[in-house]
Amino acid sequence: MSLTDYQTLLPQIQQIAAEDIKTPNIPIDVFIQEAVNLKEWANDDQAALMGVGLPESSLDLLEQGAGALSHAQAVWMKERYSQEEAKKLWDAQSPAAYELRSDLEAAFDYAFDGNDELLAKVDAIKEGTGHEDMIQDLVELSVLGKDHKAELTAINFDHTQLDTADRLAEEMRNLLAQVNGEDTKKEEKTIRDQAYTLLKETVDRVRKAGKYALRKDKDRLEGYYSAYNRR
């Protein structure tokens, strides 16, 4: 149901301008439940609410908006935790990649000693900083090493390290892309906040109508206040 609600309301959700987006000030699960509770409560006061000008569609939008927000929240949390898991893996695996790069550089400096041209190539690879640079260094060191196997064999170099460098470079590049998936994360977060804004505007509209229409009925009036905010 939440997926259907999400797909139905998505065009309306995405029309909410950036400057109008509201940030949730209560837990999303609590807010969704309050919206559903408000829909059930307001159903019994439908005539009174319509009598003060509340559009009938507002009550349906409460239920649809709750479903859409539930789905948007789930999508964002999935993206968020996927990225966090990727960050944990990066933190666990990247030290080995950095160490391999350092080992290859040291081996090449030793094996190519006296060959200025090859040492210049190693020095060029060493330039630059950052994770992306480290990954590219592994690729370039692997290529350079495979082109000069004789010099490396002379120092009893383990040539399997070159294949390891290729494999690690690919794995770490894919992992880093997940870690840096900020654009996707921001997009999902924005849609979640837009969905929240749409539902909040609907909740506020229904509550205001209820507080006015039922202002003389203490028992019915109670249902148009947020239980969370009253705590």
For the segment 130-186, what is each residue's pLDDT rounded down to a tens digit? 999 999 999 999 999 999 999 999 999 999 999 999 888 988 988 888 888 755 567
pLDDT confidence of residue 171 = 87
Averaged over 34-38, what is the pLDDT?
95
Average pLDDT over residues 67-91: 86
SS (H, E, C) the chain: CHHHHHHHHHHHHHCCCHHHCCCCCCCHHHHHHHHHHHHHHHHCCHHHHHHCCCCCHHHHHHHHHHHHHHHHHHHHHHHHHHHHHHHHHHHHHHHHHHHHHHHHHHHHHHHCCCCHHHHHHHHHHHCCCCHHHHHHHHHHHHHHHHHCHHHHHCCCCCCHHHHHHHHHHHHHHHHHHHHCCHHHHHHHHHHHHHHHHHHHHHHHHHHHHHHHHCCCCHHHHHHHCCHHHHC
Residue 147: the pLDDT is 94
Task: Say yes or no: 194 and 175 in one domain.
Answer: no
Q: What pLDDT, on the 0 to 100 scale, is given for residue 56? A: 87
* pTM given for the model: 0.65
- Specify whether 126 is located in the same domain as 159: yes
* Average pLDDT score over residue span 196-218: 96
Co-location of 7 and 20 in the same domain: yes
112 pLDDT higher than 80:
yes
Q: Tell me the pLDDT band of 124, cut-offs 50, 70 and 90.
A: very high
Q: Within a 10 A sphere around the Cβ of 164, how many other Cβ atoms?
A: 17
Q: Both 165 and 133 in a single domain?
A: yes
Check whether residue 178 and residue 89 sit in a common domain. Answer: yes
Tokens read off for 26: 């209560």
pLDDT in tens, 89-109: 899 999 999 999 999 999 999
CB 171 within 8 A of CB 135: no
**Residue among 39, 15, 29, 33 at smallest CA distance from 72:** 29
List pLDDT tens digits, range 9-32: 999 999 999 999 998 989 999 999
Based on the domain organization, do 97 and 76 belong to the same domain? no
Number of domains in the chain: 2
The residue to which tokens 């794995």 are assigned: 171
Same domain, 96 and 115: yes
What distance in Å separates the CA atoms of residue 57 and residue 62, rounded to the nearest whole number?
9
| Secondary structure in 3-state letters for 65-78 | HHHHHHHHHHHHHH
The answer on 73 and 136 residing in a single domain is no
Together in a domain, 90 and 77: no
Are 58 and 108 part of one and the same domain?
no
Q: Residue 58 is encoded by which pair of tokens?
A: 């507002």
Q: What's residue 179's pLDDT?
A: 84
Q: Which residue range is the domain that position 93 belongs to?
A: 85-182
Q: For all residues of the chain together, what is the average pLDDT?
A: 92
- Residue 53, pLDDT > 90, answer yes
- Residues 153 and 209 grouped into a single domain: no
Where a domain ends, among 152, 167, 182?
A: 182
Q: Are 66 and 153 within one domain?
A: no
